[in-house]
């Protein structure tokens, strides 16, 4: 099968199209013919080993994971003898969690992985971009026990996580303000945000508005300045926090006089979340946002674009 292989850390050019052996499903596994995947910000971090801590988990000198990609949409081509939930021909989508390997024509998954039947209303490339931002936003909004009527601000509202967070917060009944640059104001409004702040023209920490929940999805805002915009008992989600912001968040949670809770950490992956996102997609409440679509052969170009940090929603990869 065709796959994008990376045997060293580095620039997008380390990604090479090669022929590798097609996997065979074990007893409890399904073999998926991948029709689409996506290039996410997380793939770029792994490719570059940035931050350095990536090397502690994924290989000190060279990557142990030689096929990147964590999301997919495709069709089941074969199943192991013990598989009960799926059958050959089912169209499915999902997230690989830490096993990666979706920059390829085929991948085997355990049937109890983060997989669900693909939403019937959309194409494979649309389905493939839902799990990365969708599961991340859902994980943190549920952890924060988001409530109807709450005032919620999403910072980085035009990214993969942010665009899902805006739509999910609306689904949960919140009053949503999205923060993005001028070029993305119309997009964020179209996702249902009640108000959009253009960060090139206005600093939300200085406009006097107060929120129950502030969700920074891109690690680009000032954490300390944002505290003044949170109500008493408010929640601050730092889904893209690095080591510094994680420590800063722990300190704020322990010492802040407004009893603000700060949430950071790595998300976990569950099939239930993928099922939930499928349902919302089919009801039209969650729309996949795709900026650009590339082929597997154009992976270097796709990574170069995503690394710039200004994609609108997601970058999809179609695999023929």
Q: What is the C-alpha to C-alpha distance for residues 248 and 246, in angstroms, rounded to an integer?
A: 5
CB closer to ligand NAP, 111 vs 307: 307
Q: Are strands 211-216 and 151-155 parallel, antiparallel or unpaired?
A: parallel
Q: How far is the CB of 179 from ligand NAP (least distance, A)?
A: 6
Geometric angle at alpha carbon 29, from 7 and 164, rounded to 5°:
70
Query: Residue 294: what are its φ and ψ, rounded to 5°?
Result: -120, 170
Q: How far is the CB of 198 from ligand NAP (least distance, A)?
A: 9
Chain contacts with ligand NAP (rule: CB under 6 A): 40-42, 45, 133, 136, 156, 158-162, 180-181, 184, 199, 217-220, 239-240, 266-267, 309-312
User: Which H or E run contains 94?
Assistant: strand 91-95
DSSP code string of 114-167: EEEEPPTTS-HHHHHTHHHHHHHHHHHHHHTT--TT-EEEEETTTSHHHHHHHH
Q: Which residue is nearest to ligand NAP (CB)?
A: 159
CB closer to ligand NAP, 232 vs 247: 247
CB closer to ligand NAP, 94 vs 159: 159
- 163 CA to centre of own chain: 10
Q: How far is the CB of 315 from ligand NAP (least distance, A)?
A: 9
Q: How far is the CB of 221 from ligand NAP (least distance, A)?
A: 7
CB closer to ligand NAP, 106 vs 294: 294
Q: How far is the CB of 291 from ligand NAP (least distance, A)?
A: 8
CB closer to ligand NAP, 25 vs 101: 101
Q: How far is the CB of 86 from ligand NAP (least distance, A)?
A: 26
Query: Residue 271: what are its φ and ψ, rounded to 5°?
Result: -60, -35
CB closer to ligand NAP, 180 vs 191: 180
β-strand partners of 315: 39, 292
């Amino acid at each position: 099968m065709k796959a994008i292989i990376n045997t060293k850390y580095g620039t997008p050019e380390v990604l090479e199209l090669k022929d590798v052996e097609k996997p065979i499903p074990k007893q409890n596994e399904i073999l998926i013919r991948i029709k689409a995947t996506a290039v996410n910000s997380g793939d770029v971090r792994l490719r570059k080993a940035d931050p350095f801590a990536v090397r502690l988990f994924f290989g000190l000198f060279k990557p142990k994971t030689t096929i990147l990609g964590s999301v997919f949409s495709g069709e089941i081509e074969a199943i192991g003898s013990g598989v009960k939930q799926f059958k050959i021909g089912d169209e499915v989508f999902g997230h690989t969690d830490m096993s990666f390997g979706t920059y390829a024509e085929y991948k085997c998954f355990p049937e109890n992985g983060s997989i669900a039947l693909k939403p019937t209303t959309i194409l494979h490339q649309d389905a493939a971009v839902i799990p990365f931002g969708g599961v991340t936003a859902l994980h943190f909004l549920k952890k924060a026990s988001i409530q109807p009527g709450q005032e919620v601000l999403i910072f980085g509202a035009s990214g993969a996580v942010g665009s899902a967070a805006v739509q999910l917060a609306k689904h949960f009944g919140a009053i949503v303000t999205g923060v993005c640059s001028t070029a993305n104001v119309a997009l964020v409004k179209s996702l249902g945000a009640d108000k959009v702040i253009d960060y090139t023209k206005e600093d939300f920490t200085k406009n006097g508005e107060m929120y129950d929940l502030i969700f920074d999805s891109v690690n680009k805002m000032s954490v300390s300045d944002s505290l003044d915009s949170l109500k008493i008992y408010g929640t601050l989600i730092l889904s893209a926090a690095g080591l510094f912001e994680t420590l800063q968040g722990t300190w704020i949670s322990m010492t802040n006089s407004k009893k603000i809770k700060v949430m950071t950490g790595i998300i976990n992956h569950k099939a239930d979340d993928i099922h939930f996102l499928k349902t919302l997609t089919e009801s039209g409440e969650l729309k996949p946002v795709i900026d650009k679509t590339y082929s597997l052969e154009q992976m270097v170009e796709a990574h170069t674009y995503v690394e710039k940090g200004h994609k609108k929603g997601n970058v999809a990869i179609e695999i023929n």
